[in-house]
Structure 1
Amino acid sequence: MAPPLSRRLLLRSAILATTAPVLAGAATGRASAAPLPAPAAWTLRPFELGDVKVGQGVFTAKRQLMLDHGRGYDVDRLLQVFRANAGLSTRGAVAPGGWEGLDGEANGNLRGHYTGHFLTMLSQAYGGTGDQVYADRVRTMVTALTEVRTALRGSPAVLAVTGRFGTAAEHVRGSHQYVDLPSPVLGGASAITLSAWVRPTHATGWARVLDFGNDTTRYLYLATRNANGHPRFAITTGGPAGEQGLDATAALPLNQWSHLAVTLSGGTGTLYVNGTAVARNTAMTLTPAALGTLTDNWLGRSHFAADPVFAGVRDEFNMWSRALTAAEITALQSGPAASTPAGRGNLASYAFDETAGGTFADASGRGLTATLRRTWGGPSHAGFLAAYPETQFIELESMTSGDYTRVWAPYYTAHKILRGLLDAHLHVDDARALDLASGMCDWMYSRLSKLPDATLQRMWGIFSSGEFGGIVEAVCDLHALTGKAEHLALARLFDLDKLIDACAANTDTLAGLHANQHIPVFTGLLRLYDATGEARYLTAARNFWDMVVPPRMYGIGGTSTGEFWRARGVIAGTIGDTTAETCCAYNLLKLGRMLFLHEQDPKYMEFYERALYNQVLGSKQDRADAEKPLVTYFIGLTPGHVRDYTPKQGTTCCEGTGMESATKYQDSVYFRKADGSALYVNLYSPTTLTWAEKGVTVTQTTDYPREQGSTLTLGGTTAAFELRLRVPSWTTAGFRVTVNGVAVSGTPAPGSHFTIARTWRPGDVVRVTIPFRTRVEKALDDPGLQTLFHGPVNLVARNSSTSYLQLGLHRNAALSGDLLPTLTPVSGRPLHYTLDGTEFAPFLEGTEDPTHVYFRRSEPKVVLGGTDSGVANPARSDGTTLLDEIWAGAPFATKAALVARVQSVVTSWVSSGLLTQSGGRQVVTTAQNASYVP
C-alpha cells in the first residue's frame, strides 16, 4: 500500500495541475478592478459600502470624526518607514511614533501595519462616501509603495543631497545602508590620518562613522557616540577589552555638519572635532599595520550586530598614510581636502559627489571604488514589500519561542499591508494595488512553500512573533481575484492544525491563548472553506464561535483579559483594567458576519448588534484630533475605569482596526439572498440602500437606539421579494410590523427573523416597532455581578468610586419584568437615567467619565411595587434570591399572574427552609396590595 501524500505534496500537485490566469495588467500597470466575487458557499450576499448610505444617527458623528482624521493626516508620515527601508527620501516626514517607529523607538518591529490600516480606512471612506479626496490619498500611497517596491528590488542607490562641499550622500535612518570599501584600503600603513564630514540625524549610541575589521576582535572604528554620547576612536587586536582609544568630551550636534579627524603615529593618537584637538593618548601602540589586511572596511556599519547603522549625511572622507599636522587639520575646515595643504587622501579619498548609482569613486589614485550596500542584502523575491528588512521573516523560521523585541509578528504586519492594498484595489479601482498585493503573496509563497510542515506548525504556534492576523482571509480574497493556484496554496500554508483539529472536534483549548492572535484565524478558515469545500474549516469556525460567545464574552461584546483568554465561563473572575481588547471585538464582528453569510442563525447578528452598538461605538472618543484616531486599546471593566483613547504611544493594532470600524459602520445593515429572493434587515440604522439588481431603494428612517423602532420606505421600481426583519432576542413582546399602516399578521419570535413576502411598490412604508426592555445580564461565574441593558444599549454608571456599586433594581419592576420604572429618566438626555444619585448613560458615548460597566446586585429586602415587605430577601447557595426567582417568571399578563407566581415561589422556598411561613405570608400580602405598571 502506498504511503499517504503529505499536505505539502498535495499542495504542489494542485499547483502543477492548475493553469492560473495571468494577473491582468501586471506588465502595463493596468487591471480591471471589480467587486470581490461572492463565494458560492455564501447563501447571502453583502452589499458594497457605496450601496448603503449612512443617515443621521448615533454613527454619524463618530464616522465624521474619523473621516476628518483621514482627510487631514499627512500620509507621508505613514510612508516614512517604507521609504526609509528602501533607502528613498523620506521627504522630511516624521513617522507617527509608537509602533510605527524605526529600530530603537518603542518597538518598531511592527512598523508598516498602521499604514495598511490607514489604506483600508481611506479606501472604505471613499467606498462609503464617494469623496474624491480619499481616493486621491489612496493613490498617493499606492504610488509611493510602488516606488518602494521598485527600490527594494534593485541594489541600493545613492540619495544625493546638498553637502558640506557640493553634493553629499544621505543614509536615511531605517535604510540599513552603509558604504563598503575594498579590503586593501588601509594599505598596511604604520601611521594614518582619518578625516570625515558627517551630519548625524539621530542620537543613537555606537553608530559608526567607520569600522574596519575582520570581526569583533580585530578592528579599528570611529563612532559618533560612545556610552557617554561623545565621539570615540578605538583600535584593538584583542576585542573590546584590548581597545586603545580616544574619547571626546562633548556630543556632536544633530542635523549640523561636524568634522572628525584622527591622527595615529609614533604611539600617539589625537582626536579632532571641527579642527580642535579634544583627546590625546600617548600610549597607543597599535597601528593599522598591526591589524593587517582587513576583510570588512565599512563606513556607517559596525561589526557589533546590535549597534545601529549610521543615520545622517556624509561628505568628504579621506585617509592619509601619515599624521597630518594640527594646522593641516584646521585647514580642512575651510574647503574640500583637494584645496587645502593636505591635499586628497593618498590611501582613500571619496567626495560623495555622485547623484545616481550605487558606487563612489576614489580620488586617491588607488582606484578603490566603494559600494553602497544594505546590511541585510536584499529581498529573496521581487514581490517583497515591507517597512523593515526581510530578516524579520527569516529569523522567525528558526525561532522556538516568542520575543517581540527581536521579531514581532512579521506576517501580521504583512497582512495589514496586503489588506490595505486589496481594499485600495476593490474600492478605488487602483490596478497597481492589486499588482503589489499579488507580488506580496508570490513572495510569501516563495518563502513558506520551501519550509517543512513541522516548521510552519511551530512558527504559527509561537505567541506574538508567529501571529499572522487575518492574512488567510486576505490571501483567499486575492486568490478570488487572480485565480493563481499558488495563492490558494499559500493560504493553506498558514493552517495551525492543532487549533483547527481541536475546534473541529469541539474541544475547547482556548484557555491561555492570545485572543486576537487566534480570532482572525477563523475568518481565514471560513474563506478556505469557501475556496476548497473542506468541511473541517467550517466546523472549526462554527464551534470556535460558541467557545467565545457567550462563554468568554463581556456584556459590551468584548473578550479577553490582558489580551488572553482564561477558562470557559469565567467572566467576573477575569475583570480587570486590561479587559476587552478592542481588536478582538473588531475581529469577532467580522467572524460573526461571515458565519451569518453562510448560515442565517440570528445569534450572529445578535452579537453584531451588541458589539457594534456598545464596545465598537464606545471605543471611539467623541472629539476631534488631528494626530490620533482616539480609539481605545483595552476597555477596563473595573469599577471607576476611565477609558484611554491614546494608548501605548499611539498607532496600535486597536487604533488601526478602530479606524477601519468607523468607516464601515453600514457594512452589515442589509444582506440579500444569493438568488435575490429576500432582503435581510439585520440592524435598525438610519441608512439608504440601493439594491441595483432589483432597481429598489430602501430608506430606513430612525433614531435607533434612541428610538424604539424604525420606518422603512421603498423606492425605485416594483419588485417581489421577502423582507426579513430581525427580531432581537431581548425584545419579549410588542414587536409589531405594519405595511402602509396595516398590521402584518403573525407572531414575531424573539431571536428570529420576521418575514413579509409581497410585491413591493414605490412608496410602500414598513413601520417596525421594537419595544425596549431594561434588564440585567449576569456574569456566568457570579450571578450577583451584573450589567444593565436597555434594549441593545449597555447602560453604565458614571461614578468615580473604585468599588463595585451596590444596586437594587426590582423595587419598581413592571409586570413585564422591565426594570426601567426603577430608574429615573434624565430630562432632555435620551438613554440617560439616574438611580440612587448615580447617572447611568449609554456605553456608546465616548467620554472620559469614570464608569461602572458591572455592579453588585444588592436587594436586602423584598420590595414589590415600591412597597417594602419588611422581609429579608433570602438567597440560595448559588446566589439566586427570592426576588430573582419571582421575576424570572416575567412577563406577567396581569397583577393576578404576578401574585400567583409570588405564591408559588414562596411556597417552594418555605418548604425548602429558606423562608419562614410568616415571612412568606408577608411577602404574598405585599404582592397583593402593591400596584404595578404594565
Structure 2
Amino acid sequence: MIKDVFEPLEPSQVKLTGWLGKRVAVNEATRLLTVDLVPLLAGFKQRPGSHPWIGEHIGKWLHASTLAWQNTGDTKLKAKIAGAVRELIACQEPDGYLGTYVKEKRFGLFPGADWDVWSHKYCLLGLLTYWHYTKDAAALACCQRMGDLLCATFGTQPGQRSINSAGTHMGMAATSILEPMVLLARATKRAKYLDFCRYIVDVAWEEPRGPKVLSTLTNLGKVNKTANGKAYEMLSNLVGLCELYRETGEKRYLVGPERAWEDIVANQLYVTGSMSYGEHFHDDHSLPNTPKSSIGETCVTVTWLQLNWQLLRLLGHGKYAEQIERSQYNHLAAAQRPDGAQWCYYTALEGTKPYGPGINCCVSSGPRGMALAPQSVCFTCQDTKELIITTVDSFEATVMLNGVRVRVVQQSPFPKPGKIGLTLEPERPVAFAMAIRVPSWGNSKATGARLLQGRQFAALAVRSRTWKSGDTFDWTLDFQPRTIIGTFTNTGCTAKTLGPFVLAAQNGQEVLFAEAGAKGEKYQVWTGGPISETEEDRSRLGNADGSICDGDPKSIVVTFDGSKPKLDWFSLSFAKPKTATKLTFCHGRSYHDGGWFDVSELPGKPWLEIQRTKDGPWEKIGELASYPATTSTNSQGLREGQAFVLSLAAPITFMGLRVVGKPASGDSPQQAFSSCGELSVE
C-alpha cells in the first residue's frame, strides 16, 4: 500500500465553521437525523423491494451519517446509525446475500431486478465506513460474507459468470463494486478480495461487451467514448481505480482517472463544477443550461468530488483542490436547499430548482458530498513535515506534526475579502512548515511567506520553524467580481463570479448560484444570449434529456422522480401568439414502471389546455379521444412516438399549450410517471 502525498484528517479532527460549515451542519441536523429508515430497510426485510435500486439508499445513508457523527459526536445520530446497522445485518441471508430481490432474480439483468451488485456496493461502503470508526466485528463479518458471495458468483472459473451480466450500462454499475472490494481487502488483509478487483479491471472490463474503462481512457482519454458515457457509474469506477492504485502501487491503474480528469476539465465541465446532461457525457463543450436537459445529476457532482479528493490525496496537486472548491461552493451547494432538508436530482443553470425529499439516488447522494466536505480542507505531508491548508474558509482542526498534536484555528471573513488569521496551539513546541493554497480567483500576500508555484498551484510557503502555543500567522486575500465570456454553447452570453462562487441573475439582482431559487424563484447563470421563441416545461423534471418541440418524437422527456402525483403535464410557452386548428401530442416511451397516462379512472383520457395570455389561467379545450384504454399497469401496446390529434372546428389563438393526464405506475405501484415525445401546433 502506498502512502498518500497529502494525508487527510479524520472527520473528528476537523470542523468547518464558516460558510460551508453551515451547509454541513444543516445537512446533519435537518436531513441525516430526520431520514425515515423504515422504507430504506423495508426491501431487505420483505423481498422484493419497492423498486430496483431501493437497496442503495441505506448504505448511502450509513456512509454519510457515520462521517457526520464522527465530525460532530452527536449521540442521537450515533444511536440511529447503530440501530440501522443491526437491522441491516439481521437481513443478511446465510450465503451472504444482502440485496432486495427474490431468489430467482438475483445477480442478473432481470426486469425490475437489475441493480443487485450495485446495492451490495453501497451496503459494503456504509458498513465498512461504520466498521472503520467503531471496529464493530459484526459489521466487518457481514461485509466479508458479502465479499465471499461476490467472489464465488463472479469470475472465470467453472460455475461462475461475468459480473458484466449483472450490471447495467455495459456492466459499469456492477463493476463499481471495485471501490468497496478494495476497502474490504485492506480491512481484512485477504488476498482473494484483491484478486477479485484485478478480475474486474483486467478481465471483466475487457470482455467483448465489457465497458473497457481503463483501456479506453488510457488509449483515447475521452470519457464520451468510454462504454456508454454514463457519468455516475463511470466516475464510480474511477474512484475504485484510485483505491486500487493506493492498495497496489501499480501506476497503470491511475492513468485512467488522470486522463478522465483532464478530459472532463477541458471539455465536459460546467462553470458550476458539475458535468453531464441526461446523466451521460456528450460531445466536447456540449453543455446545455436548461432544466429540460437534466443537468448535473447530484450523484455525478458527489462522485466527481470523490474523484478529486482521491487524486488530491494521492498526487498532492492543487488543481484537484480547485475543482473540489468549485463544486462544493456551487453545484453541490446549489443542489442542497439552504435549510438542508431537501435536495435536487438535477440542478440546471437556469430555471427553477426542483428540491425534493422522497427516495431517489440523488437525495441519498447529496448528503454524502456534504458529509465528506470537512476532510477536504486541511492535510498533512509527513515527508516534507508540512501542514497543508487548501481552503480560505474558517475551520478548526487538530493535526499530528512531527509527533506533536497541534490545534489549528483559521478565522476568515470569507465570503468577503480581507485578513485571514491562523492560530497554532501545539501541545509543546514543534517545528514544521506550512503551505497555504492561494486560489486562482484571488490574490494573497503575507509577511514571512513566499508565493510559490509548486505542486501545480500557487501557495504561501512558510519555512519550517518552531511553533509554540498561541503563535499566529496572518495573511490577506483579495478578490473582485469577474465576468466570464461564454463560448461554445454559451457564445454571446456572460456569467459572473465572486471568488469561488458563481453568481446568478434573480429578480433583477445578482445572487449566489448556491442560494438562487431557494424559494422557487427563477434564476439564470448565463445571461445576454438570444431569447428562445419557445420554452418547454413539465410538471416534474424526470431523468430524460430530450425535447418536446424539436420535431423528433424520439427525443423524449419523462417525469420520473420516484414520486406519485395525481396528475402530470407537459407544456410549451411561446414568445409570440400561436394560432392553430390542429394540436398533436406524441407519446414518448413505455417502460416496465410507467411512462404513459392512466385513463382507467377519473379524470379519464389526457386533455389539452391553453393559455390565451402570457402567464394567464389554463383553459381546457378538449381531450385526446383516440388515446387507448390504458390502466396504471397496462399501456395497451402504445408505440414509441404514437401521435394523438385534437382537431378544432375553428382556429384558436394562445400563448401556452399543455397536455395533462394521470401518470401510470407499471410494475412499481409506489410511484408513477409519464412521457412525451412531441407537442406540436398546426
Deviation at 1:59, TM superposition (A): 2.7
Paired position in structure 1 for 2:347 = 635
The one-letter code matched in structure 2 to 1:790 is L
Is 139-148 or 587-596 further displaced after alignment? 139-148
Whole-Å separation in 1 of the counterparts to 2:281 and 2:290 = 9
State yes or no: 1:501 paired with 2:215.
Answer: yes
Deviation at 1:748, TM superposition (A): 6.8
Matches within 5 A, 1:498-537: 498-508=212-222, 510-511=224-225, 513-537=229-253
Q: Does the CA contact (< 8 Å) of 2:385 and 2:432 recur in 1?
A: yes
Whole-Å separation in 1 of the counterparts to 2:522 and 2:284 = 29
Matches within 5 A, 1:494-893: 494-495=200-201, 496-497=205-206, 498-508=212-222, 510-511=224-225, 513-572=229-288, 576-623=292-339, 629-637=341-349, 639=350, 641-646=351-356, 650-675=358-383, 677-692=385-400, 693-708=403-418, 710-716=420-426, 717-731=428-442, 734-738=443-447, 743-746=448-451, 751-757=457-463, 758-781=465-488, 782-799=490-507, 838-845=508-515, 847=518, 848-856=520-528
C-alpha spacing 1:754/1:719, structure 2 compared with 1 (3 Å): same
The one-letter code matched in structure 2 to 1:66 is E
Whole-Å separation in 1 of the counterparts to 2:291 and 2:215 = 30
Q: Per the alignment, in what secondary structure is the counterpart of residue 565 of structure 1?
A: coil
Whole-Å separation in 2 of the counterparts to 1:712 and 1:506 = 45
Deviation at 1:450, TM superposition (A): 4.7
The one-letter code matched in structure 1 to 2:410 is Q
Paired position in structure 2 for 1:412 = 118
Q: Does the CA contact (< 8 Å) of 2:57 and 2:361 recur in 1?
A: yes
Paired position in structure 2 for 1:82 = 44
Deviation at 1:660, TM superposition (A): 1.4
Paired position in structure 2 for 1:134 = 77
Whole-Å separation in 2 of the counterparts to 1:607 and 1:124 = 22
Deviation at 1:472, TM superposition (A): 1.3
Give a deviation string over 1:37-96, Cα, whole Å, max 9, x none: xx42422211100000232434325522433433233433422221113xxxxxxxxxxx
C-alpha spacing 1:489/1:736, structure 2 compared with 1 (3 Å): same
Whole-Å separation in 2 of the counterparts to 1:751 and 1:575 = 35
Q: Per the alignment, in what secondary structure is the counterpart of residue 113 of structure 2?
A: coil
Deviation at 1:429, TM superposition (A): 3.3
Whole-Å separation in 1 of the counterparts to 2:275 and 2:485 = 16
Give a deviation string over 1:101-151, Cα, whole Å, max 9, x none: x65x5xx111121111111122112110112222211211121122212xx
Give a deviation string over 1:461-497, Cα, whole Å, max 9, x none: 8428751374212111111110111111122233224
Give a deviation string over 1:652-693, Cα, whole Å, max 9, x none: 111111121232321111111143611110112221110144
C-alpha spacing 1:132/1:590, structure 2 compared with 1 (3 Å): same
Q: Does the CA contact (< 8 Å) of 1:503 and 1:543 recur in 2?
A: yes
Paired position in structure 1 for 2:53 = 110
C-alpha spacing 1:393/1:711, structure 2 compared with 1 (3 Å): farther
Q: Does the CA contact (< 8 Å) of 2:154 and 2:160 recur in 1?
A: no
Q: Per the alignment, in what secondary structure is the counterpart of residue 52 of structure 2?
A: helix
Q: Does the CA contact (< 8 Å) of 1:456 and 1:493 recur in 2?
A: no
Give a deviation string over 1:182-236, Cα, whole Å, max 9, x none: xxxxxxxxxxxxxxxxxxxxxxxxxxxxxxxxxxxxxxxxxxxxxxxxxxxxxxx
Whole-Å separation in 1 of the counterparts to 2:290 and 2:231 = 14
Whole-Å separation in 1 of the counterparts to 2:168 and 2:118 = 13
Q: Does the CA contact (< 8 Å) of 2:504 and 2:524 recur in 1?
A: yes
Paired position in structure 2 for 1:229 = none
Give a deviation string over 1:844-876, Cα, whole Å, max 9, x none: 226132110112369xxxxxxxxxxxxxxxxxx
C-alpha spacing 1:674/1:645, structure 2 compared with 1 (3 Å): same
Whole-Å separation in 2 of the counterparts to 1:438 and 1:775 = 52
Q: Per the alignment, in what secondary structure is the counterpart of residue 643 of structure 1?
A: coil
C-alpha spacing 1:845/1:144, structure 2 compared with 1 (3 Å): same
Q: Per the alignment, in what secondary structure is the counterpart of residue 215 of structure 2?
A: helix
**TM-score, length basis structure 1:** 0.52
Whole-Å separation in 1 of the counterparts to 2:2 and 2:140 = 23
Q: Per the alignment, in what secondary structure is the counterpart of residue 40 of structure 1?
A: coil
The one-letter code matched in structure 2 to 1:76 is V
* Aligned equivalent of 2:107, options 394, 404, 425: 394
Whole-Å separation in 1 of the counterparts to 2:27 and 2:249 = 42
C-alpha spacing 1:506/1:575, structure 2 compared with 1 (3 Å): farther
C-alpha spacing 1:839/1:545, structure 2 compared with 1 (3 Å): same
C-alpha spacing 1:709/1:643, structure 2 compared with 1 (3 Å): farther
The one-letter code matched in structure 1 to 2:495 is T
The one-letter code matched in structure 1 to 2:219 is A
The one-letter code matched in structure 2 to 1:504 is T
Deviation at 1:577, TM superposition (A): 4.0
Paired position in structure 2 for 1:273 = none
Q: Per the alignment, in what secondary structure is the counterpart of residue 478 of structure 2?
A: coil
Deviation at 1:409, TM superposition (A): 2.4
Q: Per the alignment, in what secondary structure is the counterpart of residue 82 of structure 1?
A: helix
The one-letter code matched in structure 1 to 2:445 is R
C-alpha spacing 1:773/1:408, structure 2 compared with 1 (3 Å): farther
C-alpha spacing 1:51/1:434, structure 2 compared with 1 (3 Å): same
Q: Does the CA contact (< 8 Å) of 1:50 and 1:127 recur in 2?
A: yes
Give a deviation string over 1:240-270, Cα, whole Å, max 9, x none: xxxxxxxxxxxxxxxxxxxxxxxxxxxxxxx
Matches within 5 A, 1:452-531: 456=162, 458-459=164-165, 462-463=168-169, 467-468=173-174, 470-495=176-201, 496-497=205-206, 498-508=212-222, 510-511=224-225, 513-531=229-247
Q: Does the CA contact (< 8 Å) of 2:397 and 2:408 recur in 1?
A: yes
Whole-Å separation in 2 of the counterparts to 1:630 and 1:415 = 24
Whole-Å separation in 1 of the counterparts to 2:485 and 2:103 = 49
The one-letter code matched in structure 1 to 2:343 is V
Deviation at 1:779, TM superposition (A): 4.1
Q: Per the alignment, in what secondary structure is the counterpart of residue 849 of structure 1?
A: coil
The one-letter code matched in structure 2 to 1:841 is V
Q: Per the alignment, in what secondary structure is the counterpart of residue 468 of structure 1?
A: helix
Q: Per the alignment, in what secondary structure is the counterpart of residue 376 of structure 2?
A: coil
Paired position in structure 2 for 1:307 = none
Q: Per the alignment, in what secondary structure is the counterpart of residue 497 of structure 2?
A: strand
Q: Does the CA contact (< 8 Å) of 2:14 and 2:395 recur in 1?
A: yes
Runs of at least 5 residues in structure 2 that lack an aligned partner in the other structure: 207-211, 531-682
Give a deviation string over 1:15-41, Cα, whole Å, max 9, x none: xxxxxxxxxxxxxxxxxxxxxxxx424
Q: Does the CA contact (< 8 Å) of 1:502 and 1:508 recur in 2?
A: yes
Q: Does the CA contact (< 8 Å) of 1:45 and 1:671 recur in 2?
A: yes
Deviation at 1:534, TM superposition (A): 2.4
Q: Per the alignment, in what secondary structure is the counterpart of residue 845 of structure 1?
A: coil
Whole-Å separation in 2 of the counterparts to 1:509 and 1:770 = 36
Paired position in structure 2 for 1:879 = none
Q: Per the alignment, in what secondary structure is the counterpart of residue 475 of structure 2?
A: strand
Q: Does the CA contact (< 8 Å) of 1:111 and 1:388 recur in 2?
A: no
The one-letter code matched in structure 2 to 1:795 is L
Q: Per the alignment, in what secondary structure is the counterpart of residue 91 of structure 2?
A: helix
The one-letter code matched in structure 1 to 2:216 is A
Q: Does the CA contact (< 8 Å) of 2:99 and 2:116 recur in 1?
A: no
C-alpha spacing 1:42/1:746, structure 2 compared with 1 (3 Å): closer
Whole-Å separation in 1 of the counterparts to 2:72 and 2:477 = 30
Whole-Å separation in 2 of the counterparts to 1:851 and 1:701 = 32
Q: How many residues align?
A: 512
Q: Does the CA contact (< 8 Å) of 2:28 and 2:65 recur in 1?
A: no
